[in-house]
Amino acid sequence: MREPRRPEPVLPEEVALSILASAGATVLLFVLLRRVTTPHSAWWAVVLFSIGPLSFVFVLAYAESLFLALLFACLLLAVDRRYAWIAPLGVVAAFTRPGAVALALGLAFLFVVRWLRRGEDPFPLGQRIGLVASGLAIAVAGVAWAPIAEAVTGTTNAYVRTEMAWWVPFIGYEEFVPLTPWFRLAGTYLGVVGIAIVLAIAVAFVLWLRSSHIRRLGIEITASAASYGLYIFAVFMPQQSIFRLLLPLSPLLADDRLHSTPLRRRWVVGTAVGLQAAGVLLLWTIGWP
């Protein structure tokens, strides 16, 4: 009988790359937020990013650190309006891990807003071309996962089937329909109450993005957060990986309501550190992150 294949050992170089990428992501997040908010808010956002419940992922051989570094670099270029330079970094990010299509959608939102405001904020032709070219390049790279997986494996819808394999322990196998995963999970376990909870979460997220504390971070960060939130809601079923997959929303930690007073800072930091232990226990030793 054929022995089961043993997992390949993690190489020290892979861990080193993840740690370097996480350090780069931390610096880039701070530089990005310093462009759009106060030093105090930028500093505390980076602190919370560094000690969050899933911060242990940053020292593992995982793709999250590199993806975040590339994403924050793209957002920094967007804030500086160097749109054409976003394309190469965004394409690399798209092949680092899924989710870069949300960045392309965010660039589309940004284009629409800048076009509508062109009377009060000039939108030169060079910036228009750079923004459109970067958005299209990242979109193409983002959707390339599906045909590549199908071509390599010879299996129809190989990529979608692989992603949905994570759903089976929770709701069994079902066909993929966009914008339904959250409702499927909540409805399976909580019925109508679960559906109401999902709707409440969606409304709360929209209201958060529309609040003055978030809008003052600028259209680049707001558009990116909105598009990524829509992406997670449309295609991902919430389970233990949800906390890791929400890390691209880290620029929203600059919301000064989280750390405007010493008491709030103590509560937030204490909660983050305490949840690290829960994260390691529940999402690593018992389940998977």
Positive or negative, the Cα torsion across 19, 21, 23, 25? negative
Query: Is the overall model pTM greater than 0.75, yes or no?
Result: yes
3-state secondary structure of 5: coil
Q: Tell me: the pLDDT tens digits for 143-184?
A: 998 899 899 988 888 888 888 888 888 888 878 899 999 999
Domain-embedded: residue 6: no
Domain-embedded: residue 171: no
Query: Total structural domains in the chain?
Result: 1
Domain-embedded: residue 150: no
Dist CA 211 CA 255 (whole Å): 10
- Report the percent of the chain where pLDDT is more than 90: 69
Where is average pLDDT lowest: 120-124, 231-235, 270-274, 276-280? Answer: 276-280
pLDDT band at 242 (very low <50, low <70, confident <90, very high): confident
Q: Is the pLDDT of residue 7 over 80?
A: no
Domain-embedded: residue 1: no
**Among 210, 187, 186, 221, residue whose Cα is nearest residue 33:** 221
Dist CA 46 CA 189 (whole Å): 36
Dist CA 96 CA 17 (whole Å): 13
Domain-embedded: residue 153: no
- Report the percent of the chain where pLDDT is more than 70: 94
Domain-embedded: residue 189: yes
Q: Tell me: the pLDDT tens digits for 60-75?
A: 888 899 999 999 999 9
Dist CA 171 CA 270 (whole Å): 34
Domain-embedded: residue 159: no
pLDDT of the residue at 2: 45
pLDDT of the residue at 32: 98
Domain interval for residue 62: 12-143+177-286
Instruction: Spell out the residues 6+ positions from residue 121 whose beta carbon is closer than 8 angstroms to its own.
Output: 114
Dist CA 38 CA 15 (whole Å): 33
Domain-embedded: residue 168: no
For 61, which DSSP code? S
